[in-house]
Amino acid sequence: MPRTLLSIKDLRVYYETIRGYVKAVDSVDLEIYEGESFCLVGETGCGKSTLALAIPRLLPPNARILSGSIMFKNIDLLKLSDSELEEIRGRDIAVVFQNPMSSLNPVLRIGLQVGEPLVAHFKTPWREALISAIKQLSRVGIPDPHLRSKDYPHAFSGGMKQRSMIAMMTSCKPSLLIADEPTTALDVTIQAQVLRLIRELKEEYGLTLLLITHNFGIVAEMCDRVGVMYAGKLVEVGNVIDIFESPLHPYTKGLIECVIARRKSKSRLSQIPGAPPSLINPPGGCRFHPRCLYATSRCTSEEPGLIEVSREHLVACHNYVR
């Protein structure tokens, strides 16, 4: 029985906006086990990034964490002070962000930026840290790392920037690596390389990986377990084979069918009718019911909780389909 590394309970994260509260994450429970690769999937705006960034508490200033707990190695991350968080970030929990073009400081050299975490967390002297940074850059596949470490970010391509980010974030050998759509902003050819790199490093350093994506292809390639989010709620969780072969939630079904249809034929895509709901005023009951083919009257009034249907396969649906 694998150990739980991260345990999220009843997490509620809302964004304060002029138009009201955006309920980006509305009561989510989730467990992530040590050493696994967990993928969080969903459409844009379903709250997956918010959930991921809530863990190291790197949310934008208008985000409010209203309730819940995030247990990491027996510590509730949500209750930590700023200085305590400082110690954990970069060292135990690391994040690779979506947009490498803007995620590196334009006026500092790459070598310095990659070496910073070592100096900050282990008090490594700068000389050593820079040498270590060069080694890291070499490990992630940057050619001529000694020379390149003196470059500024604008001299790097998107792929190289993202690799540098990965080097930077894994330099302290964290326990948990959160990757928020790490390849979405990259060229297709580079995407595969970066994903492979992440996989390799995971094995090498024994990381636990939490990968956020909207692309099921990536899910299939990278993950052991999958969590599907819709409109701020977790609607299905299970291991990757179960999700692909026997999705239970109508939404997951729809998504998988889209992927398969796209791969197989060139004829029309089977679409999920409708559009994602507003997160300020989400539909009552099950949030998916307006678009669901199997919706019943119970679905409009009663919100389904996550039920364990078979081992490790949970779904939040009144009428889940076998």
Return residues touching another protein (CB under 8 A).
18, 56, 58, 60, 82, 85-91, 94-95, 97, 99, 102-108, 116-117, 120-121, 152, 154-155, 165, 168-169
CB of 3 to another protein, least distance (A): 24
Q: What is the token pair recorded at 248?
A: 């239970």
Q: What is the token pair recorded at 114?
A: 């990659």
Report the run of H or E that residue 196 belongs to, with start and end: helix 188-205
CB of 201 to another protein, least distance (A): 17
Size (the chain), residues: 322
Contacts of 260 (CB under 8 A, 6+ apart): none
CB of 14 to another protein, least distance (A): 17
| Residue number, 280 or 293, with CB nearest to another protein | 280
**Rounded Cα gap, residues 236 and 131, in angstroms:** 45
| Residue number, 153 or 254, with CB nearest to another protein | 153
Give the DSSP per-residue string, 306-322: PEEEETTEEE--TT---
C-beta of residue 92 within 8 angstroms of C-beta of residue 171: no
| Residue number, 56 or 145, with CB nearest to another protein | 56
| Residue number, 142 or 228, with CB nearest to another protein | 142
CB of 276 to another protein, least distance (A): 22
Which one-letter DSSP state was computed for residue 289?
G
CB of 286 to another protein, least distance (A): 33
| Residue number, 58 or 306, with CB nearest to another protein | 58
Residue 199 exposed, middle or buried by CB count within 10 Å (0-12, 13-18, 19+): middle
